[in-house]
Structures are given as structure tokens and as C-alpha cells.
Amino acid sequence: FWAQPLPSPSADGTRISFNSNRSGSVQQYILWTPSNP
């Protein structure tokens, strides 16, 4: 998995966006979470 410093959950709570800096470029990863435990 990636090492993200700050996870940012969306307003509806179904998406968690991660900003990661790899190879000098900033990439955005989004984790889809349809159901929260």
C-alpha cells in the first residue's frame, strides 16, 4: 500500500482521497468505500 500522510474523506463519506508525492509528481489515489464498518 502507499504511505499517505493525510487522508481526506469526502463529504458523503464514500470516497477517501489520498495525495501522494511519487517521483517528484503529485498523484491522487481514491479509495472507494461503499460501506463503513
- Cα separation of 12 and 10, whole Å? 6
> Mean pLDDT over all residues of the chain?
54
- Cα separation of 19 and 5, whole Å? 8
Q: What is the 3-state secondary structure (H, E, C) of 18-29?
A: EEEEECCEEEEE
**Quick one: pLDDT at residue 34?**
62
Q: Which of 14 and 24 is assigned the larger pLDDT? A: 14
**Quick one: pLDDT at residue 25?**
45
**Quick one: pLDDT at residue 12?**
59
Query: In terms of pTM, does the model score above 0.75?
Result: no
**Quick one: pLDDT at residue 24?**
42
